[in-house]
Amino acid sequence: MSSTPTRNVALTPVLENYIQAQVASGHYSNASEVVRAGLRLLMERDHAAPRTRPTSAKPSSAR
């Protein structure tokens, strides 16, 4: 049994197609590698420039 935790995620067709294209291109061996690479980029971005979260879920144009 693998010691790596697994997750099931729902993807839009656009994201699924992107993952499949990345694997098909040979840049990644499987979908998990693509997702892990994306998460690493998010972590780097979040550590480099802390963001503030909006206080309202409404778009700013809906005033």
Give the pLDDT confidence of 24-40 residue by residue, as tens digits.
Answer: 999 999 999 999 999 99
The pLDDT score that the predictor gives to residue 63 is 47
Torsion of CA 56, 37, 19, 29, to 10 degrees: -160
pTM: 0.69
**Cα–Cα distance measured from residue 20 to residue 34, given in angstroms and rounded to the nearest whole number:** 9
The pLDDT score that the predictor gives to residue 25 is 98
Using alpha carbons, list the distances in angstroms from residue 35 to 7, 10, 56, 62: 11, 12, 28, 33
Residues sharing a CB contact under 8 Å with residue 22, sequence separation 6 or more, in sequence order: 28, 34
Q: Give the pLDDT band (50/70/90) at residue 53.
A: low
